[in-house]
Amino acid sequence: MKRRWMAAAMAAVMAVSTLAGCGAKSEETQAPPKVETTQAAQAPAETQAPTEAQAGETQEYGPILQKAKESGKLVAAINAQSPPWRFHKIVNGEDKLCGFEISMCYGLADYVSEKLGTKVEVEINDMTFPGVLAALQAGQVDFAPSLAGTEERRQNMDFSIPYHRSLQTIVIKKDRENEEIFAPDKGMSGVSTASLQGSSTSVTFAEQYPQANLIDYESTPDIVLAVANGKVDAAVLNEKYAILICKANPDLMIDYDLSFDIPVDRDPGASIAIPKGNEDFVELVDEWLNTILSDGTFSSYEQEAIAELDDPELLEGFSSKNILNKK
């Protein structure tokens, strides 16, 4: 019998309505931008550390940092349909953006505020995943978290250092576990598999399983519905999201015999993507990421995101899912 890990065996099954209640939106339209003031933006300017500009020295910045200094705003693009990274939740009757990459957006704005010596807010635009890529290439947004710095993408945008990598998992219906088409030696030949359009996962899955029938979808909820309703045989999803999906849908499971790690040269991991021509902003983002990865801030962001999912039992399982932490 093949070794298989079944996410549905996790205690206290999360209801499908819980994820739906987090506000997964139709990919047909784009959610209105959410503008919230970061802690740094709310703090009086005199409480911030002096910068060269405040000391009377002239400081030249690239387009993004110069705009942020003049307008007091950074603009981020996200696709808020992948808990625990980024998702919607109804809090006190209002739609709230949650997730550790949402916390990262605010944390980065705080850091920029400190470095520029001026109040900087972040405007977060929720859009389709293909829309995120298009907005970055067109310079309509200043940054987008959770994008892999693949060779193809680096032709059109720049990337920070990676801050997260996860296993790419294959999700199937539990009652189909022992079907011959899912035998590892079959290489998923002829298996219709749903994936996110424009994602590096789609590209690397096709490389891993060239005989599979890859079907692109514009949103992860559509992917989940497709496999749950039998429109496709399987789905390829990031491990952390797959764990949540299988917990919310007990009829689904992760087939670890078919799951795979994306080669680092094809997908270095989740990074913050930035429009080209902003080398100073990339350097600042790298500096900030190195800090939060080493001082425990990033880990605290993740713990807060799990708490927002109202399922703290997930935290222990999630803490070991960042491949970057493994030697």
Query: Can you give the pLDDT at residue 306?
Result: 78
Query: Can you give the pLDDT at residue 315?
Result: 45
Q: Residue range 249-272: average pLDDT?
A: 87
Query: Can you give the pLDDT at residue 314?
Result: 53
When the pLDDT of each residue in the chain is averaged and rounded to a whole number, the result is: 79
Q: Residue range 25-48: average pLDDT?
A: 37
Q: Is the peptide bond before 84 cis (omega within 30 degrees of 0)?
A: yes
Pick 117 or 3 by higher pLDDT: 117
pLDDT band at 93, cuts 50/70/90?
Answer: confident
Amino acid at 233: D
Beta bridge partners of 236: 170
Query: Can you give the pLDDT at residue 8?
Result: 30
Q: Do the Cβ atoms of 246 and 225 come closer than 8 Å?
A: no
Alpha helices in 209-278 (DSSP H): 220-228, 239-248
CA distance 26 to 327: 39
pLDDT per position as a tens digit, 297-321 = 998 998 888 778 766 555 444 444 4
pLDDT per position as a tens digit, 161-209 = 999 887 889 999 999 999 999 999 999 999 999 998 878 788 889 989 9
pLDDT per position as a tens digit, 269-295 = 889 999 999 999 999 999 999 999 999
Query: Can you give the pLDDT at residue 312?
Result: 53
Determine the 3-state secondary structure of 289 from DSSP: helix
> Encoding tokens for residue 192?
């219709």
Q: Can you point out the beta strands (E) in the chain?
A: 34-36, 73-78, 87-91, 94-98, 121-126, 144-148, 157-159, 168-173, 192-196, 213-217, 234-238, 252-260, 270-275
pLDDT band at 137, cuts 50/70/90?
Answer: very high
Query: Can you give the pLDDT at residue 102?
Result: 95
Q: Residue range 109-120: average pLDDT?
A: 97
Q: Do the Cβ atoms of 214 and 255 come closer than 8 Å?
A: no
Query: Can you give the pLDDT at residue 220?
Result: 83
CA distance 166 to 270: 9
Determine the 3-state secondary structure of 83 from DSSP: coil
